[in-house]
Chain A
Amino acid sequence: MAITAIGFEGSANKIGIGIIRDGEVLSNPRHTYITPPGEGFRPNLTAKHHQSVILDLLEKALKEANIKSLADIDVFCFTKGPGMGAPLIVVATVVRTLAQLYNKPIIGVNHCIGHIEMGRLITGAKNPVVLYVSGGNTQIIAYSEHRYRIFGETIDIAVGNCLDRFARLLKLSNDPSPGYNIEQLAKKGQNYIQLPYTVKGMDVSFSGILSHIKTIIVGNKQARKNQNEIKQHSYTNEDLCFSLQETLFAMLVEITERALAHVGSNQVLIVGGVGCNVRLQEMMGAMCKERQATVCAIDERYCIDNGAMIAQAGYEMYNADKTRKGMTLDETNCSQRYRTDAVYVSWRDD
């Protein structure tokens, strides 16, 4: 019996709805709330954006999947957490309503696990060490005995958050995403600026690097304003982008390598929005080559937050549940904090 799952994702500024049938992605449209340069996205406005877009996006998802009615869907999945409160609730509200209208089971999915399960589906990687890097999360994850265990993580902000806030300082465009524009500028960087390198064992820290580079940028601006003779050479935006990427990504490669050694794995799976970055994939590839390991990377359709990844994780959870009841409505509450290892991975036997 084929199972068709629909997934709704809206924990940050992307709202995506995806439909999957037995591992095949039937549709996966997405809409991003893009703010003007220099501005980040706030919960209330992001929630308003999602609210205005979600029903049209749902129709688009059904149309692209060639599905006439929601009655043909077997299970409704949505992001329970982690993420921003208001946007999460907007999406959950619509999904709870739909599940009741059609009397279908509902499953709340952990956002991080959505990324992991989509990565596993697309790449076919059996048991990789997962580097999950996005605007909201930075974790090194390895599967062991029914849990996705967090081996290492950021102790303050996510690597994507560091990049996004840096982009704001330079007033880079947020279209299609700040990270993408940083990557393009970095390709033209000529000079490496020394930045703090903060790996703490298996963990990483990014807020110090952000403060440091902020000081450099503000110093640059002041000097240009006063038209002072700058003692050190002035740094271009390209140099700053290049230096920041090299430093941040080297840190991520280091903790990934440490995890590979600990776990004895030879596969790395990179998921999350920052995983789109080709430079990161290159650097990871170079490290893996030295260890006879491989990098499994996915393209921006599935790296960036999307609905299909929620559908896929929800499908696995639902398929493993022989009662086919899904969650009770009380269990579908949203939580801004939801640890990856809090979920019992019932759908894996290994």
Chain B
Amino acid sequence: MDFACELNIPLLTTRHAEIVYNTVRIDREPKKNVQRIEKLNNNILNVRFEAEEAKFIRVAVESYLEKINSILRTIQRFDPNL
């Protein structure tokens, strides 16, 4: 794979990070041309994207960040512990 992109997303707490990680890792990448590998380090979510072309990565990262955004907005509005 020629192109790679690595994201490190810090979350407020370990609990939040676990929730985000457990939610977002379930669905596989819709296209086979992008590989996605996720790891959780305490409260930091580490995601690595690999593909043959840069545009595939761009699309994958864009939709991934939208998902993270959606999860964070849900937590912000409905977390009983906040």
Interface, chain A (partner B; CB < 8 A): 51, 55, 58, 69-71, 85-86, 89-90, 92-94, 96-98, 100-102, 329-330, 332-334
Contact = CB atoms under 8 A, between A and B. Distances in A.
Contact of A332 (B24, B26, B63, B78): B26
A85 B30 CA distance: 8
B75 A97 contact: yes
A333 B78 CA distance: 22
Nearest to B69: A51
A206 B80 CA distance: 50
Contact of A102 (B20, B22, B80): B80
Nearest to A101: B79
Given A101-B79, A101-B80, A334 B27 contact: yes
A69 B80 CA distance: 9
A97 B19 contact: yes
A93 B75 CA distance: 12
A230 B18 CA distance: 69
Contacts of A332: 26
Closest 9 pairs (CB-CB, A-B): A96-B23, A100-B19, A97-B74, A97-B71, A333-B26, A97-B23, A94-B74, A89-B27, A329-B22
Contacts, number: 60
A69 B18 CA distance: 22
A96 B30 contact: no
Contacts of A55: 73-74, 77-78
Contacts of A71: 80
Contacts of B27: 89, 92, 333-334
Contact of B28 (A69, A90, A101, A333): A333
B70 A93 contact: yes
Contacts of B26: 92, 96, 329-330, 332-333
B23 A93 contact: yes
Q: Interface size for chain B: under 10, 10 to 19, 20 to 34, or 35 or more residues?
A: 20 to 34
Given A329-B22, A333-B26, A333-B28, A70 B67 contact: no
B66 interface: yes
B47 to A, nearest CB: 15
Given A100-B23, A329-B26, 15 more contacts: A51-B66, A51-B70, A55-B77, A70-B78, A93-B70, A96-B23, A97-B19, A97-B20, A97-B71, A101-B74, A101-B78, A101-B80, A101-B81, A329-B22, A330-B26
A334 B30 CA distance: 11
A98 B81 CA distance: 12
Nearest to A103: B80
Contacts of A58: 78
Contacts of A101: 19, 74-75, 78-81
Most A Cβ at <10 Å: residue of B23, B24, B75: B23
A86 to B, nearest CB: 8
A56 to B, nearest CB: 10
A236 to B, nearest CB: 43
Contacts of B22: 96, 100, 329
Contacts of A97: 19-20, 23, 71, 74-75
